[in-house]
Structure 1
Amino acid sequence: MKVHFVIHESFEAPGAYEAWVRDRGHQASYSRVYQYEPLPQSADGIDLLVVMGGPQSPSTSLAECPHFDAAAECALIAQCVAAGKAVVGVCLGAQLLGAALGAPHERSPHREIGQFPIMLTADGKANDKFADFGSSLPVDHWHGDMPGLTPDAKVIAFSEGCPRQIVDYGDRVYGFQCHMEFTPQVVERLIAASERELAALGTQRFVQQPAALRANDHGAMNQKLFGFLDRLSAAPRARCRRASSARGWGPSWCGPIR
């Protein structure tokens, strides 16, 4: 399997996603946009697209962040969805995924930084890709926004602080607002990049400070992510997908994939 990562900042690393690629013997390629590496020109040669997080939002302009082209990323996402590729968006990536399908991102009711449980909905419990998640699972968070919902989207999981933690946008297309890929190394990078932010947020209900962040265990969460990715990669390729044609990001319909 050929997995392509879109990485927006050095401190928003793929973590356990990259470990899964390595452990399963898949091939990884990268668009480190913070180093001005280009996005793929098309969905060709990609089996799984993973779009990572970042401090930007889908509404961030090139003037505000010259290395982040939201429209270009949405176009790539829409192409991959239309071609029946597997797509996973993480945090900002989940918001871009929703936007590429015509659902603008929104503010989350609460800012979440740290490890807090997510709860599966009835749709989540019925989805076999999440068969070993149980009813509740402690996972990591670092966000203030959440992905939009298309008319056909299904919320797989929510948390006390955010109603959209995992979203099913269709066959093999998922948005993760939560960060199941975090490892101790990734968390250290985020802490180093967010010292002022963490200090300013103080004792908000769903915000942990560095000592608590460093004490969190990520192993069980990472293993659940591996199981999801195994089932996602084994799922049959989607035969028909819909993508938003608003703003010219992709076709509104695609026929059977030959």
Structure 2
Amino acid sequence: MHIHFLIHESFEGPGYFATWAARHDYTISATRLYLGEPLPADDAPFDLLVILGGPQNPQTSVEACPHFNSLAEQAVIRQAISRQKAVVGVCLGAQLIGEALSASYAVSPEPEIGYFPIQLTKAGEADPKLATWAPEELVGHWHNDMPGLTEHSTVLASSAGCPRQIVRYTELVYGFQCHLEFQRADLPPLIEHDQPAFASPKPYIQAPEVILAHDPERMNQLLGDFLDQLMLAYQGFHTDSVPGDSAQPLKQ
């Protein structure tokens, strides 16, 4: 299996996604957009596309952020979906998936920064990719917005501050507004970048010291469990692929 990451900023990296890939001996590649690297070609040989977060939103213009081209990324996402690849978006990435499918993002009822519980919906409890999840789980957050919903998408989890925390767009395409990939060592640069967010008290913004004290092991494992099931579904979907297709046996 080959995983490709779209990375918008140096301070929002793959986190546990990369740890999970390494544990399975999957190969990885990345487009570091903040360095001006080009987006993958239409026929790029990946099995899973992961679009990470960033301070932008889908309407941020190239003039406002020269290394972020929302429409170009949406085209990459649509192409991956049309090629029946697995696609996971996190935060901004989830919003870009919705936009790519003609579902406009929205402002979340509350900004959330820190670790707060999400609750699975009935559909979430029934989704086999979330089989190891409890009805309520404590996960990471760092957002002001939330992904749009298509006619056929399904909300799998919500929180007190945001009603669209996990969205299933298709059996191979998921959006996570929450951040299960956070690892403790990765967070200081993100905290430093968003210092102004901590200046005004809000109900769902925790202090940096509280955020840094949290152990993310449980939510990282939940992300790994989800990804394992997603790759099994992807492999099953491609069992009849012609020789030379990018799908390969899943390593356990």
* TM-score, normalising length: structure 2: 0.92
| Count of residues in Structure 1 that have an aligned counterpart in Structure 2 | 241
Distance in 1 separating the partners of 2:55 and 2:216: 22
**2:85, 2:234 within 8 Å by CA — same for their partners in 1?**
no
Structure 2 Cα separation of the partners of residues 24 and 8 of structure 1? 25
Post-superposition CA distance 1:93-145 (Å, at most 9, x none):
00000000110100000000000001000110111000011100000000000
Shift of 1:196: 2.2
Matches within 5 A, 1:1-258: 1-199=1-199, 202-236=200-234
Distance change in 2, residues 1:218/1:42 (3 Å): same
Q: Secondary structure at the match of 1:155?
A: strand
Q: Counterpart of 1:65 in 2: which secondary structure?
A: coil
In structure 2, relative to structure 1, the CA distance for the partners of 1:71 and 1:220 (3 Å cut) is same
Matched-pair contact (CA < 8 Å) for 2:86–2:231: yes
Any stretches of 5+ residues in structure 1 without a counterpart? 241-255
Q: Distance in 2 between matches of 1:155 and 1:38?
A: 32
The alpha carbon displacement at 1:44 in A equals 3.3
Rounded to whole Å, the distance in 2 between the matches of 1:111 and 1:64 is 22
> 1:169-198: CA deviations, max 9, x gaps?
002100000000001122112111111222
Distance 1:25 1:237 in 2: 16
1:247 matched to which residue of 2? none
Identity %: 48
Is the contact between residue 85 and residue 237 of structure 1 (CA under 8 Å) also seen in structure 2?
A: no
With 84-93 and 209-218 compared, the bigger mean Cα shift is at 209-218
Task: Give the conservation status (yes or no) of the 8 Å contact 1:172–1:238.
Answer: no
Letter paired with 1:63: E
Deviating runs (4+, > 2 A) in structure 1? 236-240
SS at match of 1:64: coil
Residues 184, 83 of structure 1: alpha-carbon distance in 2 compared, 3 angstrom cutoff: same
Distance (whole Å) between structure 2 residues aligned to residue 29 and residue 194 of structure 1: 27
Distance 1:46 1:69 in 2: 21
**In 2: Cα distance, 1:159 partner to 1:140 partner:** 11
3-state secondary structure, aligned to 2:133: coil
TM-score by length of 1: 0.90
Q: Does 111-120 or 39-48 show the bigger shift?
A: 39-48
Equivalent pair of 2:86/2:234 in contact (CA under 8 Å): no
Q: Is the 8 A contact 1:7 1:32 kept in 2?
A: yes
SS, match of residue 97 in structure 2: helix
Q: Distance in 2 between matches of 1:236 and 1:135?
A: 25
Secondary structure of the residue aligned to 1:123 is helix
Unaligned runs of 5+ in 2: 243-252
Q: Which segment is superposed worse, 132-141 or 186-195?
A: 186-195
- State how far apart, in whole Å, the 2-side matches of 1:204 and 1:215 are: 19
- After superposition, the CA RMSD in angstroms is 1.5
What is the CA–CA distance in structure 2 between the aligned matches of 1:183 and 1:169, rounded to whole Å?
Answer: 26
CA contact (8 A) 2:130 2:226 kept: yes
Secondary structure in 2 aligned to 1:129?
A: helix
Q: Name the aligned partner's letter for residue 156 of structure 1.
A: L
> Can you list the C-alpha shifts for 1:209-253, whole angstroms capped at 9, x where unaligned?
11111111101100010000011011145869xxxxxxxxxxxxx
Task: Answer whether contact 1:43 1:76 (CA < 8 A) is retained.
Answer: no
